[in-house]
Structure 1
Amino acid sequence: MIELRQGNLLDADVDALVNTVNTVGVMGKGVALQFKRKYPDNFRAYEQACKAGQVEIGKMLTFDRGEHARPRFILNFPTKKHWRQPSKLDYIDAGLVDLVNEVRRLGITSIAVPALGCSNGGLAWSDVKPRITKAFEALPDVRAVLFMPRLISDGVTLNKPREKPNLTLGRALMVQLIDFYREPGYSLGKLEAQKLAYFLQEAGQPLKLDFVKNGYGPYAEAVNHVLQRLEGHYTTGYGDRSTRSKIQVVPSVFGDVQKVLDEHPDAKERLERVKDLIEGFETPYGMELLASLHWLNAREGIVQFEDVGPALSAWSKRKPELFAKEHIAIAWQHLKDRGWLRTAVEQRLFDA
């Protein structure tokens, strides 16, 4: 018996939950990340199995939480090989065969199943749903709760433009940075995307973006045009600017992005420099703080830390109230340690 449902799969009252995974030991996005946080023992078992080469396409990795646990079983279902790669329908077909066998073997009477390979996997729900329903026709006495992909997200995906835009170097760099930012599971909105573009240009990449001093840090209207062009082809979740965006990369484009970047080693070096800078600051708060401090140094000549507080107060009333003093000190030192701040001598030479 199959039930269709929307909502949080982890809240289902069932004997077993299906968790979609890759074969390299990373649970960094989507349903897998939720499982990692709620069931850390399952993640550790999965991680060790990946290191031992025991996680394969077409084979369930079953984690037994104990006779009295509810749910008792977590069935880790490999829907992709590497987490950067898209899912394939062949992987879903192979996995469903073993999933049905495992449900029989364990005597499971109820199970919650996500939209296998959809969302981060890139597969169409219209292709996946009939495969799951057909598989569970062989288990008429099992209650299978099938969770559909979310139809509405915080960031509405715009309709795809007719023609796919060329993957220029600048667009490839933005796509790669967006994915890096989201890799630990963080969401990325318009504010953070602005700061990624700002730092990429400040690292020396000629993006021809005209950044101005904005209430939330450096801002360039042209960045929104870039994101709109990417939407529906290389990214999703940007929306129509009326709600908060949750931008993510379309998994099938990683190969093309890498090809472009491999042709430009200098740009890749700038990309790595930005990645090194933003790591640990992947929140709207952290990105605004880093970019605001950098702006004060690079555009307003603030080179002494004791001048930062007054400069933030002059910028807006909001900033000194928002940013804790210890966080300002940590971010300033972070920029300094990684060579992003001009010294007094460098500033005089720049002004000259």
Structure 2
Amino acid sequence: MILAEGNLLQADVQALVNTVNTEGVMGKGIALQFKRAFPAMFKDYEREAKAGRIETGRVHVFDVGSLMGPRWIINFPTKQGWRQPSRLEWIRTGLDSLIEEIQRRGIQSIAVPPLGCGNGGLDWSEVFPLIKESFGRVPAVRVLVYPPRGAPDPETMPVRTARPSLTEGRAGLLGLMRRYIDAGLDEESVSLLEIQKLLYLLQEAGQPLRLSFIAHRYGPYADNLRHVLNKLEGHYLRGFGDGSVSPEKQLRLLPGASDEAQAIIQEHPEIQERFERVARLISGFETPFGMELLSTVHWVATRAATRAKSAAEAIRDVQAWNTRKASLMSPAHVQAAWERLEQQGWLNRA
């Protein structure tokens, strides 16, 4: 048994183990990486899950049918609902099923992730002894075990999904990223926090993005933006990686992406007008703090249950949002954001 580092999906083995739930969802973490790298496997897993044939304690094996790279993908259910935690008993029974499949198929080498750790919440110090004990039954098998060390570099994550078409909304996202990058200081990437706020403002400017924003720790936040970024990752942009939503995560445009987006935007003058409106608003605020400040003040004035009707009320509401905003966003900051929003007509919506 070898304790390995790096990207499990690049391991030179016959079989790769993927941790999954029983609901047919691969939305983040290593499962999302597998979904992008092996789309046919995901379709098979999704179909089996909908039929109720994916369950804890029993692995799901997909034959890739490839002479190069892994021959098998072994989906190992570590949890039931994708939001629910893992249980040690599911790791134990799942390992029994995994060893049976290894013996039945004559698998000689395999790569194993930290089963149930990470999003599953289990302790590696309890999981690793189970893995070690189970693979002791197949001593001839070459086993690469990847302890929990965080997600690999997004640049190393393979993407083999079909390239999605650019809708107006997707083009709007890419185009606004390009505009924002061009206005910055020699940066070629945009943080996820900034993208959230840019799209909040673009949607508030009238672009129908169908993003569901709520008041969150860092201001307006739409969880369903993840699905858009998942589709674009590896085709038009890079950096979203394993689907985690850390606000500091940096995303960059891939070559040609902004040109394709611009071609679509030019066909729709109304999108360009909304772009210009957002660009005018954020001029001078093009930092993570500035974007959070503008969007937060806009929210308390237009979207909060009790809307601020003056700068003084906005200061009160921003200070009450959470302790983080109270310490970072001074009355002068909020006043400046309020004046910019008011001067440019962003506070007039019902």
Q: TM-score range by the shorter chain?
A: 0.5 to 0.7
Partner residue in 2 for 1:299: 342
Partner residue in 1 for 2:24: 25
Gaps of 5+ in 1: 155-170, 213-219, 228-293, 304-340, 347-352
SS of equivalent residue, structure 2 residue 3: strand
User: C-alpha displacement at 1:144, in angstroms?
Assistant: 0.7
Partner residue in 1 for 2:304: 204
Q: What are the residue-to-residue correspondences of 1:80-229 with 2, within 5 Å?
A: 80-150=79-149, 174=217, 185=243, 187-189=245-247, 191=288, 194=292, 201=300, 202-204=302-304, 225-226=323-324
SS of equivalent residue, structure 2 residue 111: strand
Partner residue in 2 for 1:319: none
1:221-258 CA-partner distances (Å, limit 9, x unpaired): 9878449xxxxxxxxxxxxxxxxxxxxxxxxxxxxxxx
Q: Given the two structures, how large is their TM-score scaled by the length of structure 1?
A: 0.52
> What is the CA–CA distance in structure 1 between the aligned matches of 2:307 and 2:12, rounded to whole Å?
51
Retained in 2: the 8 A contact 1:16–1:110?
Answer: yes
Label 1:40 to 1:133 Cα distance change in 2 as closer, same or farther (>3 A): same
Q: What are the residue-to-residue correspondences of 1:1-80 with 2, within 5 Å?
A: 2-66=1-65, 68-80=67-79
Retained in 1: the 8 A contact 2:311–2:338?
Answer: no
Residue type of the alignment partner of 2:80: K
CA RMSD of superposed structures (Å): 4.1
User: C-alpha displacement at 1:94, in angstroms?
Assistant: 1.1
Retained in 2: the 8 A contact 1:3–1:145?
Answer: yes
Label 1:132 to 1:342 Cα distance change in 2 as closer, same or farther (>3 A): same
Residue type of the alignment partner of 1:66: G
Label 1:197 to 1:16 Cα distance change in 2 as closer, same or farther (>3 A): farther
Retained in 2: the 8 A contact 1:61–1:77?
Answer: yes
SS of equivalent residue, structure 2 residue 95: helix
Label 1:174 to 1:53 Cα distance change in 2 as closer, same or farther (>3 A): farther
Label 1:211 to 1:42 Cα distance change in 2 as closer, same or farther (>3 A): farther
> What is the CA–CA distance in structure 1 between the aligned matches of 2:215 and 2:345, rounded to whole Å?
33
Q: What are the residue-to-residue correspondences of 1:329-348 with 2, within 5 Å?
A: 342-343=348-349
Retained in 2: the 8 A contact 1:60–1:76?
Answer: yes
User: C-alpha displacement at 1:126, in angstroms?
Assistant: 1.0
Retained in 2: the 8 A contact 1:194–1:223?
Answer: no
> What is the CA–CA distance in structure 2 between the aligned matches of 1:226 and 1:207, rounded to whole Å?
21
Partner residue in 1 for 2:263: none
User: C-alpha displacement at 1:81, in angstroms?
Assistant: 0.4
Aligned residues: 218
User: C-alpha displacement at 1:172, in angstroms?
Assistant: 10
State the percentage of identical aligned residues. 44
User: C-alpha displacement at 1:58, in angstroms?
Assistant: 0.6
Residue type of the alignment partner of 2:5: Q
Retained in 2: the 8 A contact 1:174–1:197?
Answer: no
